[in-house]
Amino acid sequence: MFIPKRVYFEPEALDYPLGQELKQRFSGMGIPIRLTGSHNRVTGIPGKTVAEGYREAKSTLVVGVRRGKDFQSCKPSAHFQLPLATSCPGMCEYCYLATTLGKKPYLRIYVNIDEILARAAEYISQHMPDITVFEGGATSDPVPVEPLTGSLRKAVEFFSSQPNGRFRFATKFTDIGGLCKAEHNNHTRVRFSINTEEIIRRYEHRTPSLKERIKAAQKLWECGYPIGFLVAPIFLEGEWRQEYGQLFAQLRQEFSQLPKDLTFELITHRFTARAKNNLLALFPNTSLPLNEKERQFKFGQFGYGKYVYEKNAMDELRRDMTGLVHQYFPEGKIDYLV
Ligand code: SF4
């Protein structure tokens, strides 16, 4: 479970039962508590260097109230983001949040989960009779803070009773015990983000091992959840074909019985100019492939451009990765490959 080194509360967060409960819990643990006027502008996180500030931010929790009424769109994995948390304790060098969270990506949780779910209900009814899908992991890995908030469990139970609402979230973490007790009604799909052992060792610091992630996926599958794997980010470097081949072979071996309705999302490595600047400041010796000249420039859904692999490389990858999914998981479904 994630244990912060320091916690900031927005004063309004203490008007909610979860805010009070967390305050008592952290005080009892002797964790320093401060107030902050806004969960968006938190000052006083220590660190003499950029790298130190980053590490300290990853041990800092901010407890706030989500006030905005609107949810962001979330292509291609869902229709809307479900805002439950921000950031995570992991330190992946390539973190996809580096564009938006900057150099001090502190963790943030919201205490007004009931209001957030009520807003989700409005979105669902506005889009009737269609099914509306919400993604819970678009701005965070929501699992490490779940033992503190129980927000995922609440969301799972909320969506279980929504005929036209579906929930999904992706994670690399394994604190999923409480979810097994939740009524999910097959309306929530949990996807585990995996990568080759080498990529995990090189870039995904402070995250669970591949084996632990697969074990957590098996556990949720045994609890009846639809599950999936998000292979991301896929790097087309070195012996990538063999390494991803080994990854799929291992994944297949770990399942004595194949889950029905298994999904795959395949996401190639990409970066924005802002993310590159932030990542180089945080990991000056990184071996991440960040040479713009080897990439193609493309505009993304939030208006900023990103550097993606070139078309020929993508065609090759599409052929090979699709082939691996079909070879090892003939009934597996590829939701998308980008
Ligand atoms: Fe970023 Fe996800 Fe890694 Fe956390 S686990 S640092 S959110 S990429």
Residues 252-293: tens digit of each pLDDT: 999 888 888 999 999 999 999 999 999 999 999 999 999 999
8 strand-pairing partners:
34, 62
pLDDT number for residue 204: 98
Q: How far apart are CA 199 and CA 286, in angstroms?
A: 12
Quick one: pLDDT at residue 299?
86
Tell me if residue 207 falls in helix, strand or coil: coil
Query: Do 169 and 152 touch, CB atoms closer than 8 A?
Result: yes
Report which ligand 1 atom has the smallest distance to the Cα of 204.
3
Question: Does residue 95 have its Cβ closer than 6 Å to ligand 1?
Answer: yes
Q: Check pocket membership of 97 for ligand 1, CB cut-off 6 A.
A: yes
Give residue 39's pLDDT: 85
**Matching residue, tokens 């009814």:** 125
Pocket test for ligand 1, best of 54, 59, 141 (most atoms within 8 A of CB): 141
pLDDT-flagged residues of the chain (< 50): none
The vertex-160 CA angle with 61 and 122, nearest 5°, equals: 75
Determine whether the shortest distance from the Cβ of 172 to ligand 1 is under 6 A.
Answer: yes
Ligand 1 centroid, distance to 95 Cα (angstroms): 5
| Runs of H (alpha helix) within the chain | 17-28, 50-57, 98-101, 113-126, 146-149, 151-160, 197-203, 210-222, 240-254, 273-282, 311-328
Ligand 1 atom 8: residue of nearest CA: 95
Of 43, 88, 308, which is closest to residue 206 (Cα–Cα)? 88
Closest atom, ligand 1, to C-alpha of 141? 7
Q: In what order do the strands lie in the sheet with 80-81?
A: 80-81, 132-135, 165-171, 188-194, 227-234, 263-268, 333-337
pLDDT of residue 1: 84
Q: What number does the ligand 1 atom closest to the CA of 87 have?
A: 7
CB of 240 within 6 A of ligand 1: the answer is: no
**At residue 222, what are phi and psi to the nearest 5 degrees?**
-65, -25
What's the CA gap between 239 and 235, in Å, rounded?
10
Q: How far apart are CA 322 and CA 310, in angstroms?
A: 18
Report the separation in Å between the CA atom of 2 and the middle of ligand 1, taken as the mean of its atom positions. Answer: 14
> Residue 7: which of 34, 44, 43, 30 has the closest Cα?
34
Instruction: Centre a 10 Å sphere on the Cβ of residue 226 and count the other Cβ atoms it contains.
Output: 20
User: What pLDDT digit, counting tens, does each position of 74-103 carry?
Assistant: 989 899 999 999 999 999 999 989 888 988
Determine the distance separating the centroid of ligand 1 and the alpha carbon of 139, expressed in angstroms. 9
Would you state the pLDDT for residue 301?
66
Angle made by CA atoms 87, 24, 151, in degrees to the nearest 5: 40
Report how far ligand 1's centroid is from the alpha carbon of 127 (Å). Answer: 31
